[in-house]
Amino acid sequence: MTSELRRTTIEADSSDELQPDPSLPPTAVPERELERERKWTWPKILLWAAVALLGGIAWVMIAIVRGETVNAIWFVFAAVCSYLIAYRFYSKVIQRFIARPDDRRATPAEVKADGKDYVPTDRRVLFGHHFAAIAGAGPLVGPVLAAQMGFLPGTIWIIVGVILAGAVQDYLVLFFSMRRGGRTIGQMARDELGKIGGTAAMVASLLIMLIIVAILALVVVNALGESPWGVFSVSMTIPIALFMGVYLRYLRPGRITEVSLIGFVLLIAAIVAGGWVAATPWGAEIFHLDRTTIAWGIIVYGFIAAVLPVWLLLAPRDYLSTFMKIGVIVMLAGAVVVVRPEITVPAFSEFAGGELGPVFSGPLFPFLFVTIACGALSGFHALIASGTTPKLIEKERQTRFIGYGGMLMESFVAIMALVAAISLDRGIYFAMNSSAAATGGTIEGAVAFVNGLGLMGVNLTPDMLSSAAAAVGEESIVSRTGGAPTLALGLAHIMQQFLGGAAMAGFWYHFAIMFEALFILTAVDAGTRVARFMLQDAIGNVFPKFKNTAWRPGVWISTAIMVAGWGYILILGVTDPLGGINTFFPLFGIANQLLAVIALAVVLAIVVKRGRSYFTWLWIIAVPLGFAAVVTITASMFKIFSPVPQVGYWANNVAFRDALAAGETSFGTATSVEAMEAVVRNTSVQGTLSIVFVTLAIIVLITSILATIKALRNGGGENHEDPPVASRRFAPAGLIATPAEKTIEREWAALPADHQPESVRH
């Protein structure tokens, strides 16, 4: 078999001139062997038939066979089976007919290896890095807020959306960025769409990044506000991460598993200690912080984290958060299978058919699809997939595992967040997610507000809210908006039945808060750092010295500008009388999905320029691009032009301005002149940003369509890929090496040490 592996060639579009070094083992699995692995056998047929049958039954139970309740176990089975089928079949269609990877070709990590930005990294480690970077607040918060509409719309969009849209975008942006030396989506837009489209894409990416990071931080603020236990525990993650960074750098270099176990133990200790500290008079006084104070703390933290060396804080937090993120979600899924909680939320709620709702306002279409952003489709991922990840990939075929597979994992996070939210009593859910302006921030006000909604089967009592808060060690759970507290309570509700009983409810709640803060702060760290890189590149076109990331004044100035931008929006959200997350999250979702439209538009132009053999498969990109464009542009039009104040930013702005001009001292849910002025200020910012975002996205979309039409007429277009270079290394494509891959790995392992390629093996 060894000689056959060496002799067989691989079909490639533009790399036929690549000549591997005959003194080295194969750098790729031969096409003949890949074809042999694709052949169907009876065990394979029976396995995939069973997966399809279980998934089909689960979908029928969720969507069709519905009584008064539905068991949560079917959500787990429907998601997992759908993901497995999509990864095994649909992603391979994309790989075979659109990406067409060639492992004989060296990746940028090999060609440009510098030990800093370009480093060939083990695929399993890189999967963790990539997942930690893309998985922020979106898959946690969006599904929780969207539960207002019922469980079925969100479930369909999360699962079907990720398969046909989100994972497609992540995979192809990652692949084409890798083929272009790791260029950013903005630079690729400039190459493929010209100066106008490229400039619009760059500006949109910078502005949208501000919104994304601000909302990520706002979720943390809302989770920790007035919670001494949570503030102490999350604060302790910073010295823990710093210790891990020093441990890895100086004490025990490369001991990733070892330091992760130590970090996990320290995290559990921080959670337990948080309960003790919060119970003391001094602890309650020091760590009982209002939301504005916490917001300023996160702003300062964001600046420091972005300028510190990456190994000191960001990298150890990535390692630890990946273990936590995947481990907690898998644990929650296992608990759902064992506990099998019954879901009483209807498939379509009373708010699914109208424009107004206590959690967020707007009709199901298009607002469900922008509220559930990151769990199904996320433009933020395009920044990561064209940022650090393409500079670290060892082999081209690994892009499917990391890009498509990583996004499927994030979608599963979103499904579990939805299940946790809908497992709660509906009255408690609405009491937690309605703004303080609606509930008055009191138990009595929340009970009156929720019972006044006229929800079928809901009869909220003060004791239900006080008991739920006491069970998890909180003073109150009323108007704990932002999704994170709701997810934490839902997770605690399920996990206490699985492990520990009612006595462990407080531990599981604050464990979830810690988990969510780690989840989100990782994205705040990475987002601020990526935003700083983007701004340095932009300023560097005028002042070239800014492009040098080692020049400290440029680093500090760029970081300060970006932190000031998202920090300003964060403070607006914290002080918003209408409930910051409730009004700002739709803007976050729209901005995020508009960035996805930009990314898919760039990918469409790239693929059509590759030649006529790709034209048949353009629908794989055009369908999600068209849907995302319609959804986001429609949502933008609602927010800009809707005459309903609860939906339209400018309608709300005018209503409050008129009230102030008339001398009113309270209006709607604002109970003071200061609150009314805050609404006017916030809606002005939101409305202006909505106009800017949609205009830039439409410019990019139009230039992409024009470039696509031109390429269709010409049978292709200019190729901006880096020249192919023959690879001198080998690595498996997926999580588990195939028999053919193991054979080649043994050949490489048998080489003398001085012939072994340098790599990062954790």
Q: How far apart are CA 107 and CA 393, in angstroms?
A: 7
Q: Do the Cβ atoms of 424 and 490 come closer than 8 Å?
A: yes
Q: How many other CB atoms sit within 10 Å of the CB of residue 616?
A: 9
Give the HSE-up count for residue 654: Cα atoms under 13 Å, Cβ half-sphere. Answer: 11
Q: Would you say residue 664 has pLDDT above 70?
A: yes
499 CB burial (10 A radius; 0-12, 13-18, 19+): middle
> Nearest CA to 655 among 690, 636, 638, 679?
679
> Nearest CA to 485 among 285, 218, 299, 282?
218
Q: Give this prediction's pTM.
A: 0.88
CB environment 661-693: b (16+ within 10 A), e (fewer)? eeeeeebbbbeeeebbebbbebbebbbebbeeb
For the packed helices 73-85 and 151-161, what is the interaxial angle rounded to 10 degrees? 20
Please tell me the predicted confidence (pLDDT) of residue 9. Answer: 31
Q: Do the Cβ atoms of 303 and 563 come closer than 8 Å?
A: yes
Please tell me the predicted confidence (pLDDT) of residue 396. Answer: 97
Calculate ∠ Cα 690-695-697, nearest 5°.
100
Q: Would you say residue 91 has pLDDT above 90?
A: yes
DSSP 336-405: HHHH-PEE-S-SS-TTTTSS--SS--S-HHHHHHHHS-TTT--THHHHHHTTTGGGTBSSTTHHIIIIIH
Q: Do the Cβ atoms of 255 and 248 come closer than 8 Å?
A: yes
Q: Do the Cβ atoms of 522 and 302 come closer than 8 Å?
A: no
Q: Do the Cβ atoms of 205 and 534 come closer than 8 Å?
A: yes
**Run of H or E including 237:** helix 228-246
> Nearest CA to 679 among 667, 662, 695, 691?
667
- What is the band of 757 on the pLDDT scale with cuts at 50, 70, 90? low
pLDDT in tens, 329-366: 888 899 999 999 999 899 999 898 888 888 888 899 99
Give the HSE-up count for residue 714: Cα atoms under 13 Å, Cβ half-sphere. Answer: 13
Average pLDDT over residues 31-49: 89
Q: Which DSSP state fits 137?
A: S
* Domains of the chain, first to last: 42-226+290-714 (1.20.1740.10)
- Give the tokens for residue 172: 């192809």
The three-state secondary structure class of 726 is: strand
**Top-confidence residue, 96 or 308:** 96
37 CB burial (10 A radius; 0-12, 13-18, 19+): exposed
Q: Do the Cβ atoms of 548 and 336 come closer than 8 Å?
A: no
Q: How far apart are CA 645 and CA 664, in angstroms?
A: 17
> Nearest CA to 306 among 134, 523, 565, 559?
559
- What is the band of 578 on the pLDDT scale with cuts at 50, 70, 90? low
26-35, 126-135, 329-338, 601-610: range with highest mean pLDDT = 601-610
pLDDT in tens, 699-733: 999 999 999 999 999 999 999 999 999 999 999 99
762 CB burial (10 A radius; 0-12, 13-18, 19+): middle
pLDDT in tens, 542-571: 888 887 766 888 888 988 999 999 898 888
Please tell me the predicted confidence (pLDDT) of residue 126. Answer: 85
Q: How far apart are CA 696 and CA 293, in angstroms?
A: 35
Please tell me the predicted confidence (pLDDT) of residue 704. Answer: 96
pLDDT in tens, 687-696: 998 999 999 9
Average pLDDT over residues 121-135: 82
Give whole-number Cα distances, 674 to 122, 438, 666, 682, in Å.
54, 17, 9, 12
Q: Would you say residue 168 has pLDDT above 90?
A: yes
Q: Do the Cβ atoms of 332 and 416 come closer than 8 Å?
A: yes
